[in-house]
Amino acid sequence: MLLKISLVDRKRFVKFADTHPYRNFLQYPSWADLKTEMRWSSELLGWYSKDAHMVGAAVILYRKVPGINKYLAYIPRGPLIDWFSQDYKLEDWFAPLFAHLKSRHVFSVKMDPPLIKRTWSSHSIKEGIFEYQTHGIKNKRMTDLVSDTTFNSVEFIQQELNEMGWQQNAVVESFDSVQPQYVFRLRLSGKSLDDLFSEFDPIWQKKINQAEWEGVEVRVGTEKDFEDFYHLLAHTAQQEQTQARQSTYFEKMFRALRQECPERIRLYMAIQDKQLLAACLAIHVRGHTEELYSAKLGKSDHPASYLLRWKMIADSYERGDQMYDFRGISTKLNDKDPLFEMLRFRLGYAGDACELMGEWDYPVIPMLHWAFDMYMKKR
């Protein structure tokens, strides 16, 4: 084989991930640490060239299937490889990985690569929504609009994976997969903070200024503030008729991520008259800040949420980030649908909606993979 794969120590893995162009918090040891608290085991793997140079890495999560000595494997937002390498084919990367997974009694592996297929600008989406509303056209999605950018090289990657035996999980909604397939990102590089603010929707600018005039204060919380954050998160989940994770999950997340890097995770809180109005977790890796779990008081469109994001964006910019990631969005363009609010809120910050490659499964042991898939579908 052109490439070999083996276990990597934590320090070397972090050093490699810190410089990889597709780095994200899901592909760091600290995230694997958190998942071990939830019945997952994990490994840190590295790909090595003939001259023993490390050229790729992956956090692999394993979940044992009850009753048999077999495992599901999952590579969240990875692996961190050179997907468009001139030196190695995709098969060169995955052949040694499959051999390793078989030795670990894995019968099926899932991944969601960090590659973007298409993007739509805020302007294009707003124009599309206006056109649909003007003509009374219903039940449209963002994917019905012509994208601003299509990456044909990623289409080629998908073709290669299909030919290798990988199977794509086709989903209708962004949140039907483990990680959202559609995200909203704001590029920070090449602009000043004033430039960024000037590109926001005028109503968003007004709300941000209004929050400041009304005395809303945004500050970074500590572990002691997680109880208040969790109460607000549970309140939001109740309003949206969704489930909130246990409070201990967030406490463990905070400790695990901060242990790896003190700046890895921050809790942002918007407070007015000692009342917590909005809060959000920000996860930071070099050059990239990503939102994870947000909450607000009530269903009202309070200016505090707008100021909170602006302060998070500004801090991300000051740290030298190239990208601020609002994370998951729905593709629904129906303003009567509850999920549309998530997209509407992000559009005002003038970023881009991005479609990632989505989830892919590989049947390491085809018969077991098929049997498990049939079982899951019948549940």
> Of 211, 215, 198, 185, which is closest to residue 306 (Cα–Cα)?
211
Pull the structure tokens for residue 314. Answer: 């500004």
Residue 173 has pLDDT above 70, yes or no: no
Whether residues 266 and 316 fall in one domain:
yes
pLDDT at position 78 is 97
Mean of pLDDT over the chain = 93
Whether residues 322 and 371 fall in one domain:
no
- What residues contact residue 361 under an 8 Å CB cut-off, 6+ apart? 108, 109, 110, 166, 167, 169, 369
Whether residues 67 and 130 fall in one domain:
no
pLDDT at position 39 is 87
What b/e string do you get for 228-248 counting C-beta neighbours within 10 Å, with b at 16 or more? bbbebbebbeeeeeeebeeee
Rounded mean pLDDT of 261-274? 96
Angle at 224 between CA 329 and CA 211, to 5 degrees: 50
Element (H, E) at 281: strand 275-285
- Residue 156 domain flag: no
Whether residues 120 and 108 fall in one domain:
no
Whether residues 280 and 365 fall in one domain:
no
Residue 283 has pLDDT above 90, yes or no: yes
What residue numbers bound the domain in which 83 lies? Answer: 4-112+359-378
pLDDT at position 370 is 73
- Residue 229 domain flag: yes
What burial class does residue 120 get, using C-beta atoms within 10 Å of its C-beta: 0-12 exposed, 13-18 middle, 19+ buried?
buried
pLDDT at position 313 is 98
Residue with tokens 């890796």: 285
Whether residues 12 and 48 fall in one domain:
yes
- Residue 143 domain flag: yes
- Residue 95 domain flag: yes
**Concatenated DSSP letters of 107-147:** EEEEE----EEEEEEHHHHHHHHHHHHHTT--S-BGGGSPP
Q: What percent of the chain has pLDDT over 70?
A: 95
pLDDT one-digit tens code per residue, 1-51: 689 999 999 999 999 999 999 999 999 999 999 998 888 999 999 999 999
Pull the structure tokens for residue 114. Answer: 């960090």
Rounded mean pLDDT of 245-271? 92
Rounded mean pLDDT of 274-298? 94
pLDDT at position 316 is 98
Rounded mean pLDDT of 153-159? 97
Residue 241 has pLDDT above 80, yes or no: no
Residue 239 has pLDDT above 80, yes or no: no
Residue 113 has pLDDT above 90, yes or no: yes
> How many angstroms separate the most distant Cα atoms in the chain?
64
pLDDT at position 71 is 94
- Residue 162 domain flag: no
Give the integer Cα–Cα distance in Å for 28 and 256.
11
Count of C-beta atoms within a 10 Å radius of residue 190: 7
Whether residues 122 and 180 fall in one domain:
yes
- Residue 252 domain flag: yes
What burial class does residue 209 get, using C-beta atoms within 10 Å of its C-beta: 0-12 exposed, 13-18 middle, 19+ buried?
middle
Whether residues 15 and 87 fall in one domain:
yes
Helical spans, DSSP H, in the chain: 10-19, 29-36, 90-103, 122-134, 152-164, 193-199, 202-213, 226-240, 247-260, 303-318, 340-347, 366-378
> Do 140 and 132 touch, CB atoms closer than 8 A?
yes
- Residue 159 domain flag: no
Q: By three-state DSSP, how is residue 74 classified? A: strand
pLDDT bin (cut points 50, 70, 90) of residue 263 is very high
Whether residues 103 and 229 fall in one domain:
no
pLDDT at position 375 is 57
Give the integer Cα–Cα distance in Å for 46 and 67.
30
pLDDT at position 91 is 96
Whether residues 120 and 265 fall in one domain:
yes
Residue 180 has pLDDT above 80, yes or no: yes
Residue 160 has pLDDT above 70, yes or no: yes
pLDDT at position 234 is 86
Residue 365 phi, psi dihedral angles, 5° rounding:
-120, 95
Residue 197 has pLDDT above 90, yes or no: yes
pLDDT at position 379 is 53
* CATH number of residue 104's parent domain: 3.40.630.30
Give the integer Cα–Cα distance in Å for 258 and 273.
29
> Of 257, 258, 256, 249, which is closest to residue 230 (Cα–Cα)?
249
Rounded mean pLDDT of 206-227? 95
Residue 377 has pLDDT above 70, yes or no: no
Q: For the chain, what is the total number of helices (H) and then of strands (E)? A: 12, 16
Residue 95 has pLDDT above 90, yes or no: yes
Residue 122 has pLDDT above 90, yes or no: yes
Whether residues 145 and 290 fall in one domain:
yes
Better pLDDT: 304 or 301: 304
Pull the structure tokens for residue 261. Answer: 């890097």
Separation in Å, CA 299 to CA 184, 232, 305, 338, 341: 22, 12, 11, 11, 11
pLDDT one-digit tens code per residue, 286-296: 999 999 999 99
Residue 175 has pLDDT above 70, yes or no: no
pLDDT at position 176 is 64
pLDDT at position 240 is 66
Better pLDDT: 269 or 65: 269
> Do 281 and 300 touch, CB atoms closer than 8 A?
no
Whether residues 373 and 348 fall in one domain:
no
Task: Give the chain's domain count.
Answer: 2
pLDDT at position 195 is 98
Q: Around 229, how many Cα atoms within 13 Å sit in the side-chain half-sphere?
A: 27
> Do 285 and 23 touch, CB atoms closer than 8 A?
yes
DSSP single-letter state for residue 259: H
pLDDT at position 178 is 84
- Residue 293 domain flag: yes
pLDDT at position 365 is 87
Rounded mean pLDDT of 318-328? 97
